[in-house]
Amino acid sequence: MTSHTTGRSSDSSRYEIRLGGHLEPRWAAWFDGMTLTHADDGSTVLTGSALDQAALHGVLSKVRDLGLPLLAVAQLDP
């Protein structure tokens, strides 16, 4: 992944959330407009910019509620 700055406030960051299984792109709106991409290993990567901690936890609880295996969470450009 290439990294680039978002220019948002310092509280917010770009995050990448990796899930087990393929989630279709139309779930993007459900995850508040995060981008969904499919990785070759069969996982799905959610990418969102300008997420603060509260928003990040909101996304994670949505992941939990769908019963999707959570593989990794990474901050992209701290």
Binding site for another protein (CB under 8 A): 21-24, 26-27, 29-30, 42, 64-68
Q: Collapsing DSSP states into helix, strand and coil, what is residue 24?
A: coil
Give 4 or 64: the residue with its C-beta nearer to another protein. 64
> Shortest Cβ distance from residue 77 to another protein (Å)?
28
> Shortest Cβ distance from residue 29 to another protein (Å)?
5
Per-residue DSSP letter, 50: E
Give 8 or 64: the residue with its C-beta nearer to another protein. 64
How, if at all, do strands 43-51 and 13-20 pair?
Answer: antiparallel
Beta carbons of 21 and 45 less than 8 angstroms apart: no
